[in-house]
């Protein structure tokens, strides 16, 4: 919006970023582009990340866990003093909305890149924020607040009526939130929400509000300076969510008419102005239709079915999805944060801010949508972000890095910008198709299915959209031709493993002859066995003059593979040439073929022999994802019934309950409270009840 500022008179010439990953990298870019010195803190787990490499200085911090290190305000302040930083930018998450940390920064004589401690306290507590907004005359949903009278809270919650939404007063990011549609479950859900609120935020206080079925989540970006100027930068739609956490964000919202857009944006700016808000913030609303609107004050029902919106919360920080606002306005929000913190006036009013085109952000997560969006872990063996006009990739990891259970599973953000929503969706499909990310399972293929769904294309979305469309998350059946191509690429990629096994003559007799349905006989090479999804496949490669011949259950095909040392190349299958990227790690083969990635598990012939004759694991309970034990309500020898809670685990800020798959007796427990485990780890064993 404004020209690059003259930083010579600013009260700080260096900024310490008290964060990690993509947001640390994002803040550093603006800091260094302005000529300021950029400093980061890092835990040892992040030593090899791009943000540490890019910073002018990097200071290691320590903690019992990586997250604990980034939450240690005293250690971060010590790092700021040691590095000579004049200001601290908190990014988002961690200490970004911690009023005590903000006050400590200011007490240390440093500048906090964000609002004042008082503004964080006001808006950071959902109950105080709701009361403030209501008293200022802005719309809020019917609700019951525990602090008003703790003894009657449950009764008042029942009076609000179902469906209702339980929220921790000090919460955020969807943690501790529960939708209740059956009042018989209310007490149990209150207990669970309170437990999670205490665990995640150190505060178990709650409140409930009426839940709007099929609501849309719309938020408005605001900026306020220290001179009384407050502007909005239009809205963002964040309705596509799972477990109350956003996956896709876009602007403008396809739901808003120009009149509604004006109303909701003016309301957001009014709330920020009433609070005397300073710096960047986001005012969030629930938007829906039906019932009495906020304008139907007498409740006569004349406005039934009208569009209405209610204040949800205000985030007193930069949002994950801020790049879509930057795309349509051309305003660098981090630069504006820095200018405001330096005491500069915005220098422009609302009329000067315009929006061009349509932007969509996709959060690239390490997760398995088909298994309830459970987080996944693993190395980043290959990373090729898409490139081109209208594309932006904000990532915090590099090839060779690792996705662990220590942090949120978001790997990167893909932002697309087009002339309109249709062109943005088309550009997104091409970009997701071209995204190569091998080594851990991601949601990239899921995102392509999502944006191809007719309802999404039509803009008919709401916060329960994914629950209403479970088919989007489900892995579609593999086309036979694609399956053969994947197996061919994997078989050729694992030839060194196969050739080593081929030197063991005993294996030929142990594995037996190959049959393709028309003839039987020993091939000159061994069968290779792969698991592709839930299906086991056997293939064999026979060398030919110009490549190999692939034999599988469908017959045979001519195959050849040419890849460079990085795993990039081409697969030739019966004359068809397909671009391919490959990575092999242990017994896993990762293949990016024809715009989508797939993992195959390779079973070495020796492993196959060792596994022969072994029984199944029907009595074992395994971890659906990596994590740690939060609680263990059973003991060895305890009798349990199908559906009883065996263990509660936590993974990447998500709590999951493990229940008994059948009646039985707990025979063995392999992990205690606080201990960590990997995906598929054996958690406990059941024996049959007498």
Structure confidence by residue, pLDDT tens digits, 429-485: 999 999 999 999 999 999 999 999 999 999 999 999 999 999 999 999 889 999 999
Residue 563 bridge partners (DSSP): 569
Which among 297, 306, 269 has a CA at the least distance from the CA of 285?
A: 269
Find the DSSP H helices in 85-185. Answer: 99-107, 117-124, 126-135, 153-160
Same domain? For 647 and 670 the reply is yes
Rounded to 5°, the CA angle 681-399-581 comes to 90
> CB burial class (10 A; 0-12, 13-18, 19+) of residue 214?
middle
- Residue of 313, 327, 314, 325 lying closest to 115 (CA atoms): 314
| Planar angle of CA 596, 599, 600, nearest 5 degrees | 130
Residue 258 has pLDDT above 80, yes or no: yes
Residue 607 and residue 495 share a domain: yes
Domain identity same for 432 and 486: no
From 178, 211, 244, the end of a domain falls on 211
The mean per-residue pLDDT over the stretch 15-21 comes to 97
- Express each pLDDT in 347-380 by its tens digit: 999 999 999 999 999 999 999 999 999 999 999 9
Q: Say what the pLDDT of residue 203 is.
A: 85
Contacts of 412 by beta carbon, 8 Å cutoff, 6+ apart: 22, 364, 385, 393, 394, 395, 396, 397
Residue 466 lies in a domain: no
Same domain, 558 and 596: yes
On whether the CB atoms of residues 134 and 185 are closer than 8 A, the answer is no
Is the CB of residue 549 less than 8 Å from the CB of residue 557? Answer: yes
pLDDT of residue 654: 64
- 229: which 2 tokens? 């100027």
The token duo for 382 is 């290959």
Neighbours of 392 (CB within 10 A): 18
What's the rounded mean pLDDT across residues 18-25?
97
Could you tell me the end-to-end alpha-carbon distance of the chain, in angstroms, rounded to an integer?
75
Q: Could you tell me if 79 and 20 lie in one domain?
A: yes
Q: What is the pLDDT of residues 653-662, one digit of tens each?
A: 667 788 888 8
**20 and 70 Cβ atoms separated by less than 8 Å:** yes
Q: Which domain holds residue 180?
A: 142-211
Residue 20 pLDDT > 50: yes
pLDDT band at 568 (very low <50, low <70, confident <90, very high): very high
Q: Name residue 530's beta-bridge partners.
A: 537, 602
Taking the C-alpha atoms of residue 321 and residue 243, their distance in angstroms, rounded to an integer, is 17
475 domain residue, yes or no:
no
Backbone dihedral region for residue 586 (phi beyond 0: left; psi -120 to 50: alpha; all else: beta): left
- pLDDT given at position 196: 84
Instruction: Flag whether pLDDT at 301 surpasses 90.
Output: no
The CATH number linked to 166 is: 3.30.1490.20
pLDDT band at 256 (very low <50, low <70, confident <90, very high): very high
In a domain, 471, yes or no: no
pLDDT at residue 620, rounded to an integer: 82
Backbone angles phi, psi at 603, to 5 degrees: -105, 110
- Is 197 in contact with 176 (CB distance < 8 Å)? yes
Residue 334 maps to a domain: yes
Does residue 395 share a domain with residue 452? Answer: yes
670 belongs to a structural domain: yes
SS (H, E, C) 217-285: EEEEEEEECCCCCEEEEEEEEEEEEECCEEEEEEECCCCCCHHHHHHHHHHHHHHHHHCCCCEEEEEEE
Q: List, in order, residues 6 or more apart from 652 with CB less than 8 Å away.
A: 375, 405, 407, 408, 409, 625, 627
Based on the fold, state whether residues 225 and 327 are members of the same structural domain.
yes
- More confident site: 368 or 498: 368
* Whole-number pLDDT of residue 517: 37
Is residue 275 in some structural domain?
Answer: yes
Tell me which of 481 and 498 has the higher pLDDT.
481
Average pLDDT for residues 539-559, to the nearest whole number?
89
Question: Where among 95, 113, 131 does a domain terminate?
Answer: 113
Query: For 24-44, what is the mean pLDDT?
Result: 98
Q: What is the pLDDT of residue 294?
A: 40
- For residue 595, pLDDT over 60 is answered with yes
Percent of the chain with pLDDT over 70: 89
Here the CATH number for the domain that contains residue 672 is 2.40.50.100
Q: 628: which 2 tokens?
A: 């740690």
**What is the chain's mean pLDDT, rounded?**
88
Other Cβ atoms closer than 10 A to 71: 17
Q: Do residues 635 and 663 share a domain?
A: yes
pLDDT given at position 66: 94
- Say what the pLDDT of residue 526 is: 59
Q: 345 and 278: one domain? A: yes
Phi, psi of 266 (to 5 degrees): -65, -35
Query: The tokens 């929000």 sit on which residue?
Result: 333
Question: Would you report the helix, strand and coil content of the chain in percent, each value rounded to 5?
Answer: 30, 30, 35
Task: Summarize the confidence of residues 371-392 as an average pLDDT.
Answer: 94
Do 352 and 425 reside in the same domain of the chain? no
Cα gap 688→690, rounded to integer Å:
6
Last residue in a domain, options 356, 372, 398: 356
- For residue 313, the domain's CATH number is 3.30.470.20
User: Tell me, what CATH number does 50's domain have?
Assistant: 3.40.50.20
Cα 174 to Cα 653: distance, rounded to the nearest angstrom: 10
Number of domains in the chain: 6
Write the pLDDT tens digit of every residue in 164-216: 999 888 766 677 889 999 999 999 999 999 988 887 777 889 989 888 888 99
pLDDT digits (tens, 9 = 90+) for 502-530: 444 444 444 444 433 333 333 445 578 89
- Could you tell me which residue, 71 or 645, shows the higher pLDDT? 71
Q: Is residue 130 part of a domain?
A: no
Both 27 and 89 in one domain: the answer is yes
Distance CA 175, CA 193 (A): 8
Strand 164-168 versus strand 111-112 pairing type: unpaired
Co-location of 598 and 628 in the same domain? no
Name the most confidently modeled range: 143-147, 471-475, 639-643.
471-475
The CATH number covering residue 566 comes to: 3.30.700.30
CA dist., res. 245 & res. 445, Å (int): 19
Helix (H, G, I), strand (E, B) or coil at 597: strand
- How far is the C-alpha of 519 from the C-alpha of 346, rounded, in Å? 79
* The pLDDT of residue 546: 84
Gap between the Cα atoms of 628 and 184, Å rounded: 31
Q: Which of 208-212, 277-281, 549-553 has the lowest mean pLDDT?
A: 208-212
Of residues 201 and 255, more confidence is placed in 255
pLDDT at 105 over 80: yes
Any idea which residue has 């950071």 for tokens?
A: 124
Domain contains 474: no
């Amino acid at each position: 919006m404004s020209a690059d500022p003259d930083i010579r008179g600013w009260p700080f010439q260096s900024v310490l970023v008290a964060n990690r990953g993509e947001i640390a990298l994002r803040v550093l870019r603006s800091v260094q582009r302005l000529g300021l010195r950029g400093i980061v803190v890092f835990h040892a787990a992040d030593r090899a990340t791009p943000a540490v490499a890019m910073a002018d200085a990097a200071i290691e911090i320590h903690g019992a866990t990586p997250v604990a290190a980034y939450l240690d305000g005293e250690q971060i302040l010590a790092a700021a003093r040691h590095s000579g930083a004049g200001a601290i930018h908190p990014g988002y998450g961690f200490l970004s909305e911690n009023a005590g940390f903000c006050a400590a920064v200011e007490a240390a004589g440093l500048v906090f890149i964000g609002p004042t401690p008082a503004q964080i306290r006001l808006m950071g507590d959902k109950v105080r924020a709701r009361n403030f907004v209501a008293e200022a005359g802005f719309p809020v949903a019917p609700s019951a607040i525990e602090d008003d009278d703790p003894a009657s809270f449950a009764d008042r919650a029942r009076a609000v009526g179902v469906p209702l939404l339980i929220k921790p007063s000090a919460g955020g990011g969807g943690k501790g939130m529960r939708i209740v549609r059956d009042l018989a479950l209310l007490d149990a859900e209150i207990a669970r929400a309170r437990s999670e609120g205490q665990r995640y935020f150190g505060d178990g206080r709650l409140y409930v509000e009426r839940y709007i079925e099929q609501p849309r989540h719309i938020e408005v970006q605001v900026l306020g300076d220290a001179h009384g100027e407050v502007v909005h930068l239009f809205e963002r739609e964040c309705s596509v969510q799972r477990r109350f956490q956003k996956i896709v964000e876009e602007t403008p919202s396809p739901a808003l008419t120009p009149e509604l857009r004006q109303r909701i944006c003016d309301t957001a700016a009014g709330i920020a102005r009433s609070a005397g808000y300073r710096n960047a913030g986001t005012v969030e609303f629930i938007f829906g239709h039906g019932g009495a609107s906020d304008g139907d004050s007498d409740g006569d029902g004349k406005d039934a079915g009208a569009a209405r919106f209610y204040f949800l919360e205000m985030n007193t920080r930069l949002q994950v999805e801020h790049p879509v606002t930057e795309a349509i306005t051309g305003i660098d929000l981090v630069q504006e944060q820095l200018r405001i913190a330096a005491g500069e006036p915005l220098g422009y009013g609302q009329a000067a801010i315009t929006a061009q085109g349509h932007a969509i952000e996709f959060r690239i997560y390490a997760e398995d949508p088909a298994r309830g969006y459970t987080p996944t872990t693993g190395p980043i063996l290959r990373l090729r972000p898409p490139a081109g006009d209208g594309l932006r990739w904000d990532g915090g990891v590099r090839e060779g890095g690792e996705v662990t259970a220590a942090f949120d599973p978001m790997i990167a953000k893909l932002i697309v910008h087009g002339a309109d929503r249709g062109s943005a969706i088309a550009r997104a499909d091409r970009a997701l198709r071209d995204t190569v990310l091998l080594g851990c399972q991601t949601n990239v293929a899921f995102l392509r299915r999502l944006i191809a769904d007719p309802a999404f294309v039509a803009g008919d979305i709401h916060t329960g959209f994914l629950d209403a469309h479970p088919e989007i998350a489900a892995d579609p059946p593999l086309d036979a031709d694609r399956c053969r191509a994947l197996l061919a690429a994997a078989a050729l990629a694992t030839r060194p493993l196969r050739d080593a096994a081929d030197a063991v003559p005993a294996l030929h007799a142990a594995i037996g002859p190959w049959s393709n349905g028309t003839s039987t006989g020993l091939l000159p090479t061994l069968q290779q066995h792969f698991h592709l999804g839930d299906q086991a496949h056997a293939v064999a490669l026979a060398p030919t003059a110009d490549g190999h011949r692939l034999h599988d259950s469908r017959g045979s095909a001519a195959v050849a593979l040419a890849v460079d040392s990085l795993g990039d190349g081409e697969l030739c299958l019966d004359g068809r040439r397909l671009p391919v990227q490959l990575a092999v790690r242990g017994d896993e083969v990762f293949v990016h073929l024809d715009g989508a990635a797939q993992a195959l598990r390779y079973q070495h012939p020796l492993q196959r022999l060792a596994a022969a004759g072994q029984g199944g694991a029907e009595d074992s309970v395994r971890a659906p994802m990596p994590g740690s034990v939060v609680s263990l309500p059973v003991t060895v020898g305890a009798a349990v019934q199908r559906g009883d809670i065996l263990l509660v685990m936590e993974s990447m800020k998500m709590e999951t309950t493990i229940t008994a798959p059948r009646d039985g007796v707990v025979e063995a427990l392999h992990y205690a409270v606080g201990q960590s485990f990997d995906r598929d780890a054996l958690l406990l064993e059941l024996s049959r009840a007498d």
